[in-house]
Amino acid sequence: MKNLKIILIITMVFPLLILNANTLNNDIQTINASVLHPSSGKVHFFIGQFFHQYNPTTDKLEKMGRIGKDGWYDLTPNVNAALIHPKNKKAYFFIGNMYHRYDFSKKRVDRKGIIGVDGWNGLEGPIDAAIMHPTNNSAYFFKGKKYYRFSFSKDKVDKVGTIGVDGWKGLPANIASATMHPNGKAYFFTVDHYYRYVFGRSTDKKGVIGRDGWRGLFHRLDAAVMHTDDVHFFKSSQKMQVNDYNTNYFTRLAIELDENETGNGNAAFFKSGLKSLALRLNPNTQKVTKRKLGYDAYKGIPKDVDAVTWHPENKKYYFFKGTKYYRYDSSKRAVDKVGVIGRDGWKGAPSNLDAATHDKSGIYFFKGTKYYFYSFKSGDVTKTGSIASKFKGAPNYIDAAHSFTPPGRTYKLRGKTYTLSTVTRFMLIKKDVTYTYKGTGLTNWELLHQNLFK
């Protein structure tokens, strides 16, 4: 492929973010804390350095911003837990062994203290999650498999229990966040799931965040695929691609420099010059071109597809939706076959996929926490297992995936000659982050261009 372009765009809203894979959690956009705003009725989710303002009535994400810059001034990022005090109506954020008190009228943090020393007697940080009980004048703090009931009338913790055993039935251990909903129920969040809790009873619903509830809380794509020299992204009824692609692509190639040529190994090269290289090559203009899926692009393909992949042997594209697949012939610009997954092809592959992508010998299908490898040679799924066992460090419940194999060419950088590896790279997309996988693990991650989600 000449002039290969990989269009994985760093947002213009957020700064360039590229990290060594050793620093990553499996999902770098896990909810850390959440709180129901006392006046607006909006739920604010805190995710690392960012907050998401979500309208629980309309089920829409209304705003994303950086903590301390675009809202929640003076608050330290990476919040662990949050709740609204029932008496002074201020928000308390728990970060490590500290708490920050936020005054809504001043729109600023007005006090900081040590948990258990300067207030919140009987508690000890860090805390996983916190929520105010609507009727008993107590707050509940969650940490690992334990919960701690804090009585405001006694001004101390007056009960410690085990989650799901002597309280909070149906909830798991290691809760990441909790918030009240205007409907009077509590919602608890883990990495991928939410649990709806009815006070006085137990958990009455469990679902995948963004799929079964809290839709729109995170940006999501339906699918992605390499097309000639570009990457095509799919969301709802649109096919999108990014013009004036981000030359951070060359940065990704630099990550893959042969270790023998650099003499220092990829990690050392990464730390010394990769970020500055990406900044120098970052273009000034980035434009997303959108076309109507099924009409202006990929005629005959339905909207809201689950996954798409290119078949390297017959050179055709396969779109998957529900129990069906659609084979698209780009030379004819038409769908030339529609079939049922497992019956008319793709033996052993599941329906209702999350994502799919290829290498030279077969197709990788992703669903939930598992992957399925379909072998071209055997015409069947020959391997299956957890995503973590194959793609070490990658998250579960991915939204889209695509892959590419760079040409094995050499180039010069700072007076030295480097040879690029030809090992296939897998780009696994979850929310608006792309995880780049090669060989034994992740090499880096990037934020996608935010115009893909507008």
Among 98, 56, 62, residue whose Cα is nearest residue 77: 98
Residues near 359 by Cβ (< 8 Å), separated by ≥ 6? 403, 405, 424, 426
- Out of 14-18, 176-180, 386-390, which region has the weakest mean confidence (pLDDT)? 14-18
Would you say 322 and 351 are in contact if contact means Cβ atoms under 8 Å apart? yes
- Which of the four pLDDT bands, split at 50, 70 and 90, describes residue 445? confident
122 CB contacts (<8 Å, ≥6 apart)?
A: 116, 148, 150, 156, 157, 158
For 335, the 3-state DSSP assignment is strand
Concatenated DSSP letters of 377-407: TTTEEEEEEEHHHHSTTPPSS--EEEEE---
Question: Above 90 in pLDDT, residue 1?
Answer: no
Q: Is 274 helix (H, G, I), strand (E, B) or coil?
A: helix
pTM flag (> 0.85): no
Count other C-beta atoms under 10 Å from residue 236's C-beta. Answer: 10
Identical fold for domains 30-208 and 223-453, yes or no, is yes
Tokens of 57: 């009535």
Residue boundaries of the structural domains of the chain: 30-208, 223-453
Neighbours of 183 (CB within 10 A): 10
Q: Is the pLDDT of residue 324 over 90?
A: yes
Q: pLDDT tens digits for 151-163?
A: 999 999 999 999 9
Q: Comparing 24-28, 43-47, 123-127, which segment has the lowest mean pLDDT?
A: 24-28
The predicted-structure confidence for 197-212, as pLDDT tens digits, reads as follows: 999 899 999 999 988 9
Query: In which band, very low, low, confident or very high, does the pLDDT at 303 lie, cut at 50, 70 and 90?
Result: very high
pLDDT digits (tens, 9 = 90+) for 120-175: 999 998 999 999 999 999 999 999 999 999 999 999 999 999 999 999 999 999 99
pLDDT-based confidence at residue 107 (cuts at 50, 70, 90): very high
Which of 254-268, 312-326, 381-395, 417-431 is predicted least confidently?
254-268
Torsion, CA 315, CA 317, CA 318, CA 320, rounded to 10 = 160
Q: Which position has the higher pLDDT, 216 or 410?
A: 216
In contact, 429 and 435? CB cutoff 8 Å: yes
Pick the CATH number of 30-208 from 2.110.10.10, 3.40.50.880, 3.20.20.70, 1.10.287.3510: 2.110.10.10
Higher pLDDT, 65 or 355: 355
Residue in the structure block whose two tokens are 């991915």: 398
233 versus 432: which is more confidently predicted?
A: 233
Give the C-alpha separation, 62 to 217, whole Å. Answer: 9
pLDDT in tens, 50-84: 899 999 999 889 988 889 989 999 999 899 999 99
As beta bridge partners, residue 102 has: 91, 109
Q: Region 92-111: what's the mean pLDDT?
A: 95
* Pair 172, 190: CB distance under 8 Å: yes
State mean pLDDT over 216-241. 86
Quick check: helix, strand or coil at residue 346? coil
Q: How far from the centroid of its chain's Cα atoms is residue 175's Cα? A: 18
271-276 mean pLDDT: 40
Closest by CA to 106, choosing from 72, 67, 62, 65, is 72
Domain 223-453, CATH among 3.30.1490.100, 2.110.10.10, 3.30.70.260, 1.25.40.10 = 2.110.10.10
pLDDT at 249: 45
- 10 Å Cβ neighbour count for 210? 19
Rounded Cα gap, residues 249 and 369, in angstroms: 28
What mean pLDDT do residues 399-404 have? 90
CB 232 within 8 A of CB 241: yes
Percent of the chain with pLDDT over 90: 59
For the cut 80, the answer to whether the pLDDT of residue 276 exceeds it is no
